[in-house]
Structure 1
Amino acid sequence: MDNEKKLKKPVASFIVLTNIIFLPLFCLVGVIKMLGFPEWVFHVMLCISAWSSTFAFAVLFKKIYPGQSFIQFVKDKFKNKLKVSVILTVIMIQVFIFLMVMFFVATNSEADTIFKISSWGMLIYFFLKNLLSGPLGEEIGWRGFALMELQKKHSPLKASIIIGFWWGMWHLPIWFTTGYVGIDLIKYMLFFMFAILATTMIMTTFYNLNQNLIIPITIHQFFNFFIGIINGNLVDLIMYNAIVYLAVAVLIIIINPKKIFYGKEAPINAKQYMI
């Protein structure tokens, strides 16, 4: 019998510690930028700061799941076989959203070209850098742990809203480094939060349908990647993404595939991750 005391509020503890770890790391990123360190140092430190949620979960793991293995927990999040129907649907949704955003940009933007990146080499580099500095670092904690933990007490829809809100608020320090002020900053923050909430609902739907962490990682990756390669005003890009992602999320909630959001218990993987 493991005598280690379990945390009474594991998700709240995770969110608090994630922010405590992230803030000094993000400040260090800013210092590195201001002092003129090489660009690669800046990007490495930025990538490390993005893993703050994984660091927080690793630190708290033994108090959340006494006697269990963190490594085995992570492995089991990727062990379920990917369903072709689910992964193809996720990709098609992301491509549809990308095409809609490009349409809005092409219609309303005065930029000479729609894309920021013009070579395949830079495109591959940006894709891999984005993957390391966002989806891989964030999804183990936010979706792999926090979302699934909340679904033990709340409906998937409510759990999505809770996690989406706090995941969005975790980005708060980043919002104030965009250079926006006044109404532009307010618009950026509001559209960002709507986009984050909608994206979280989509993640929850397909993650519950196919409990493999590759699903939310893929959605997260395409969200960031597509915004990063389109040439346009960032506030407008976030606004377009918020509109289309929210429309997709509302449609999914109405359809409620396999009653994944409400109507039955959330599909929780109750497997224990014993050493």
Structure 2
Amino acid sequence: MSREKKLNKPVASFILLTNIIFLPLFCLVGVTSLLGFPTWVFDVIHCISAWSSTFAFAILFKRIYPGQSFIQFVKDKFKNKPKFSVILSVSTIQAFIFLMILFLVLNNSAVDSIFTKTSWGILVYYFFKNLLSGPIGEELGWRGFAQMELQKKYSPLIASIIIGFWWGMWHLPIWFTTGFMGIELIKYILFFMISIISTAIIMAAFYNLNQNLIVPIIIHQFFNFYIGLINGNLIDLLMYNALFYSVVAILIIIINPKKVLYGKKNTNIINGKNSVI
């Protein structure tokens, strides 16, 4: 069997294929909603659609890393022991952001209930449903591969801005299902992209400190989970997220400019071969 030709632009190919896979899956999500399928069917299809980046990376893997094992690649992304200081730092930062947004909503909202989840059972279900979709489904492709691949050429900051932009644009079909129009839609997109790019910078900074995919998965989980808990105007919630996450991203750059702005390439050993990750 002949070896497949290695891709010249693996990240661009990954982004393109991710969107190609996502679009029909997203349409299927819409169909299940319009036809009134049970909630669990909608949730399952929605979860599968979030895995489009992982599907794309798995399909392209042999052309990106010829001769290497996909399973081993995934294992290597979790092989470094998670650092307690890193996990505690990201958890504390996001919990603080959540509490600050909660305080602002309480003081500026007339909603009857501040939380969207009304029981522990619903809360637990929401937590794991959210975890199995975006955080676990997206991070192998976007951070485990694309972020690290771009860091062969760019600094962590530049790489995370590029990935953050395209990660945000991948959500484009969702923007037009929100019901927002005109200036409201522009606000939604603006705050969404600032939030996404800022979060991508934070993910890159902490992921480079630990090199375990659990780190961006946790950041992604808390970002989605916390914003889904608060019962408030969605544009206001995104505005608060954009504000606080961008402040954290800027502080990280100021505090540790050498690693974020001028980070050097790292080398890992995959399947006995030295390669830049």
Contact 2:22 2:50 in 1 (8 A): yes
What is the alpha-carbon distance in structure 2 between the residues aligned to residue 4 and residue 50 of structure 1?
Answer: 28
The one-letter amino acid paired with 2:213 is L
| Offset, 1:5 | 1.5
Contact 2:156 2:262 in 1 (8 A): no
Cα deviation per residue 1:22-76 (whole Å; 9 max; x = unaligned)? Answer: 0011011111111111111111101000000000000000000001000110111
Cα separation, partners in 2 of 1:119 and 1:69, compared to 1, 3 Å:
same
Contact 2:156 2:263 in 1 (8 A): no
User: Normalised by the size of structure 2, how large is the TM-score?
Assistant: 0.95
Which residue in the other structure is 2:183 paired with?
Answer: 183
- Does residue 7 (structure 1) correspond to residue 7 (structure 2)? The answer is yes
Q: Supply the RMSD in Å over aligned alpha carbons.
A: 1.4
The one-letter amino acid paired with 2:130 is N
The SS at the match of 1:19 is helix
Which residue in the other structure is 1:263 paired with?
Answer: 262
What is the alpha-carbon distance in structure 2 between the residues aligned to residue 274 and residue 14 of structure 1?
Answer: 25
What is the alpha-carbon distance in structure 2 between the residues aligned to residue 273 and residue 177 of structure 1?
Answer: 44
Which residue in the other structure is 1:44 paired with?
Answer: 44
Cα separation, partners in 2 of 1:274 and 1:52, compared to 1, 3 Å:
farther
What is the alpha-carbon distance in structure 1 between the residues aligned to residue 49 and residue 272 of structure 2?
Answer: 29
Contact 1:7 1:64 in 2 (8 A): yes
- Segment drifting more, 98-107 vs 190-199: 98-107
Structure 1 residue runs of 5 or longer lacking an equivalent are: none
What is the alpha-carbon distance in structure 1 between the residues aligned to residue 272 and residue 50 of structure 2?
Answer: 28
Cα separation, partners in 2 of 1:274 and 1:64, compared to 1, 3 Å:
farther
What is the alpha-carbon distance in structure 2 between the residues aligned to residue 45 and residue 53 of structure 1?
Answer: 15
The SS at the match of 1:271 is strand
What is the alpha-carbon distance in structure 1 between the residues aligned to residue 118 and residue 37 of structure 2?
Answer: 26
| Offset, 1:111 | 1.0
Where do 1:92-111 residues align within 5 Å? 92-111=92-111
Which residue in the other structure is 2:243 paired with?
Answer: 243
Contact 2:76 2:270 in 1 (8 A): no
Contact 1:69 1:274 in 2 (8 A): no
Cα deviation per residue 1:100-124 (whole Å; 9 max; x = unaligned)? Answer: 1111111111112211112111111
What is the alpha-carbon distance in structure 2 between the residues aligned to residue 229 and residue 3 of structure 1?
Answer: 49
Contact 1:209 1:260 in 2 (8 A): no
User: Normalised by the size of structure 1, how large is the TM-score?
Assistant: 0.96
Contact 2:131 2:221 in 1 (8 A): yes
Which residue in the other structure is 1:123 paired with?
Answer: 123
Give the percent of matched residue pairs that are identical in Structure 1 and Structure 2. Answer: 72
| Offset, 1:83 | 0.8
Structure 2 residue runs of 5 or longer lacking an equivalent are: none
| Offset, 1:133 | 1.3
Contact 1:67 1:274 in 2 (8 A): no
What is the alpha-carbon distance in structure 2 between the residues aligned to residue 264 and residue 40 of structure 1?
Answer: 44
